[in-house]
Amino acid sequence: MEDQTQHGQASPEAQQRIQTSFDRQGLMSHLGARITHIGPGRVHIELPSRPEVTQQHGYFHAGATSAVADSAGGYAAFTLFPGDAEVLTVEYKINLLAPAAGDHIEAVGTVLKSGRTLTVCRLEVFGVQGDRRKPVANGQQTLIRVNRPEQ
């Protein structure tokens, strides 16, 4: 069976919904992260290297790496939800494979299974230096679909 999350862009409406939600996230703004791809069941987020997101040895901090991975998975799930739904992380696990170094890191969230209530995503993070991409973290995440709160 072909993985449909590997191809194409999400609808313009879904892209706008995801970008608007992402722009409301104080942490992603604070870190300097940006969405670079929104497809059905797949979202990429880049985080540029700068001193504020590194640890004492100059590598990307595990907290920053984990935060962009969590958001990439959450928004990947969100692309498949109806317009009146929201997403919350239930749990996630990250394995740090190598020191995260490069011009930036790229987090990729991919939906493995989307359900009515729970969705499971694969999380991947790559250190990017020029045209070289090196896996630095991977994980899995469970998310819950909830109704949008009344305003």
- Helices assigned H by DSSP within the chain: 12-23, 26-31, 62-78
Calpha distance 150→60 (Å, rounded): 38
pLDDT of residue 21: 95
Q: Shortest CA distance to 89 belongs to which of 26, 139, 142?
A: 142
Expressed as residue numbers, the domain containing 68 is: 4-147
What tokens appear for 69 in the block? Answer: 């991975």
The pLDDT of residue 83 is: 87
Q: What is the pLDDT of residue 148?
A: 77
Number of C-beta neighbours around residue 89 at 10 A: 15
Residue 2 is predicted with a pLDDT of 38
Coil/strand/helix, residue 64: helix
Count the domains in the chain. Answer: 1
Q: What is the CATH number for 66?
A: 3.10.129.10
Q: What's the Cα-to-Cα distance from 79 to each of 6, 17, 21, rounded to whole Å?
A: 13, 9, 11
pLDDT score recorded for residue 5 = 46
pLDDT in single tens digits along all 151 residues of the chain: 334 445 689 899 999 999 999 999 999 999 999 999 999 999 999 999 999 999 999 999 999 999 999 999 999 999 999 988 999 999 999 999 999 999 999 999 999 999 999 999 999 999 999 999 999 999 999 999 998 776 5
Report d(CA 140, CA 151) in Å as an integer: 32
pTM of the model: 0.92
